[in-house]
Structure 1
Amino acid sequence: MSGDQQRAAERSVQQTLGHLRAIDGGPGEDPDRPLTLEDVYRQQRMRMVRLAILLVDEPATAEDVVQEAFTGLYRNWSGLRDSRAAIGYLRTAVVNGSRSVLRRRKTARDYQPPHQTDARSAESLAMLSAEHRAVVDALSGLPRRQREVLVLRYYGDLSEVEIAEATGVSRGTVKSTASRALDALQKAMGTG
């Protein structure tokens, strides 16, 4: 894939997931005030659910993953270095929970032909143009790690270092995975 094609794929992913991030809104809290668990839940719950939906493709499963992440956060709240670390904790818990769901799903489907599910909410799909839907559908077909890296980068708006921390891989792996993911996405969308 040429550099221009890869940049075009990157722009498509960035626009689509940036659009979803804008719909969800960013945290509007005072950065100097310590967060309570209730604040974190109110500000981050839907954003974490949307992140999980992008990773597992099923709203109900995504809700379960996020609920488990918040349960873990509640159990470990007193052990956090500061309340701002809660968001990183949640993000990592959602990624790891999504991985577990996908592993269980793969095991359950080993002897069955795979099928495509499009269980995203009607609300989220209605807000996306046809081009954006094509990008989200192409993301669904990527291998787990590639999807995670692109979703965390363009929806989560995380740096390579933050993605590496959330996924448990090196920064170099994040960079190379993102490049391969953009190549694969371009091919899946038929523009490569």
Structure 2
Amino acid sequence: MPTSLLRWRRGAASGPVVTAAAAAPSVAELYRERRLPLVRLAVLMVDDLPTAEDIVQDVFTRLYRRHGAALDALDDPNAYLVSAVMNAARSALRRRRITRAYRPPRPDPAPAAEDEALLGTGDREVIRALGRLTTRQRQVIVLRYWSGLSEREIAATLRVTAGTVKSTAHRALTLLRAQLGER
């Protein structure tokens, strides 16, 4: 025990008795003593050394901001630090889980340069107009006019009724005529 924390007390019959003072350690002392064990604890939680070091550093920063250099207000600074590191590690794991669950929308593939060069102006307009249709409408139009399938074959391919194919094709052609003009 450091001598700065020792205080002499005189007993009634036995002479001087050495007891530990109730002085709380400073943040700097706690940092020197507890940083590595806390980083090890955080690494066990988050399985990532840089994140664990950031967690411990943030905990000590918050501790200093809240209580200052002297930690007299805390009953057990070590328990406070362990609890804060565990809470921060759980928060980091929660953020990581949310981040991994998010899947950004896939960007539309860029057309190949040779495809763009081979397309005429009219072809580009038709492709843009097709891009403005719904997915189902685009599927029906492409299967009908590009692949040459019958309404019954399209219905079987898309697993819809023949009536759905007819009405979808009619709506899609109406939209295409409106966008491209009657040609």
Length-normalised TM-score, structure 1? 0.39
Length-normalised TM-score, structure 2? 0.41
**Which structure is larger by alpha-carbon Rg, 1 or 2?**
2
Q: Does 1 or 2 have the higher relative contact order (CA < 8 Å, sep 6+)?
A: 1
Q: When you count strand as a share of all residues, which structure comes out higher? A: 2
Q: When you count helix as a share of all residues, which structure comes out higher? A: 1
